[in-house]
Amino acid sequence: MTIRQCVFLANAFVVVALLSTQVAAQSGSGSFSLQTADGHPNLTGVWDFRTVTPLERPEEFADQEFLSEEEVSAYAAERVLASNADLNREEKKATDTSRGQVNGTRESTDLALAYNNFWWDRGSVVVETRRTSLVVTPANGLIPALTDAGNQRAAERLSINQRVSLGPEDRPLAERCITGFNSGPPMIPSAYNMNVQIFQTADHVVLLNEMVHNPRIIPLDGREHGAVHQRTGVSRGRWEGDTLVVETKNFVGETSFRNSTKNLHLVEYFQRLSEGSLIYSFTVTDPTTWTEPWTVELPMRLNELPIFEYACHEGNYGMEGSLRGARAIERDAGE
């Protein structure tokens, strides 16, 4: 048997196993079941995590954890208007923070200004819980302060981003289409393609993000994380009652989730509430980056549509244009 035949058979086995599990989640009448054949919650499906609720709590809601029912529609409309790239382009040019971020997200200034509003798909509603921020711990809804080392790395990153002369080694992985800037881990709403498809068997869970089509194959058999470091870390899962807990370690420095380091320790939680809703939350800990751990809660909605192609690729035209422009500026300066 050739290597290609072995690979084909292995892939076919995985597909059959996944389909069998999903079929077992259907009752005899064909209706959906919230439990799999092995008795665990059924998390399968395509989950949409778009929302206009900000990651951190705005100053106007400093002492308000939840919106009232009367405030929801007006605030959502306000957020949609504020994120309109065409109407707020000049304001975004001046946006910067001491953390080396733009608008509290991983979007670079270039990305925030690159597209007009047609290309964005941030959503138009706040989270169903009506929280004023996705950050739920600390209680003020804000990401904790950076450590001294974290501040230094943020300043270095900001300096690189502001340099006219740059090389490919200066550009982040998301810009090179190697990782997605919302797919994580952890997953955080940002820009577009905010869907994740979950596949489930008795001993594995697969998280397939629409952005960059990054799959995380997560064993549930209790195996150790090992010593190998990977760009998206090494994930291991377990069931705690009705909650799937995924613990990820062994990141690499290039991952740089909000300026974190390879010491990042991520714990994610998946809990299905109903046929159409799932609560995703995570806690990040990196004592070399933040002064304390922090937690995000992000409700997800079942999407009836499939995962679509995300046609980002390494060596795309944006990267080529950036490097050509930098070299042209260097030539002009030399002359």
Per-residue model confidence as pLDDT tens digits over 36-79: 988 999 999 999 999 999 999 999 999 999 999 999 999 999 99
Distance from C-alpha of 298 to C-alpha of 252, rounded to nearest angstrom: 25
8 Å CB contact between 52 and 123? yes
Question: How is residue 124 written in tokens?
Answer: 């138009």
Residues 6+ apart with CB under 8 A from 19: none
Question: Is-contact 55 135, C-beta < 8 A?
Answer: yes
CB proximity list for 140: less than 8 A, separation 6 or greater = 57, 62
The larger pLDDT score, comparing residue 311 to residue 127, is at 127
Distance CA 290, CA 99 (A): 11
Confidence of residue 111 (pLDDT cuts 50, 70, 90): low
Compute the half-sphere exposure of residue 220: CA atoms within 13 Å on the CB side of its CA: 15
The residues with which 297 forms a beta bridge, in sequence order, are 281
Looking at the predicted structure, is the pLDDT value of residue 24 above 60? no
Tens digit of pLDDT for each residue in 218-259? 999 999 999 999 989 999 999 999 999 999 999 987 766 888
Domains of the chain, by residue range, sit at 45-326
Taking the C-alpha atoms of residue 155 and residue 211, their distance in angstroms, rounded to an integer, is 28
Q: Confidence class of residue 290 from pLDDT cuts 50, 70 and 90?
A: very high
Is the peptide bond between 306 and the residue preceding it cis, with omega within 30 degrees of 0?
no
**Using one digit for the tens of pLDDT, what is the confidence trace for 183-192?**
989 999 988 9
Residue 5 pLDDT > 80: no
Can you list the positions of beta strands (E) in the chain?
A: 45-48, 135-137, 195-200, 204-209, 215-219, 234-240, 243-249, 265-274, 277-285, 294-303
Secondary-structure breakdown of the chain: helix, strand, coil percentages, each rounded to the nearest 5: 30, 25, 50
pTM of the predicted structure, to 2 decimals? 0.82
Q: Which of 146, 212, 143, 145 is nearest to 177 (CA)?
A: 212
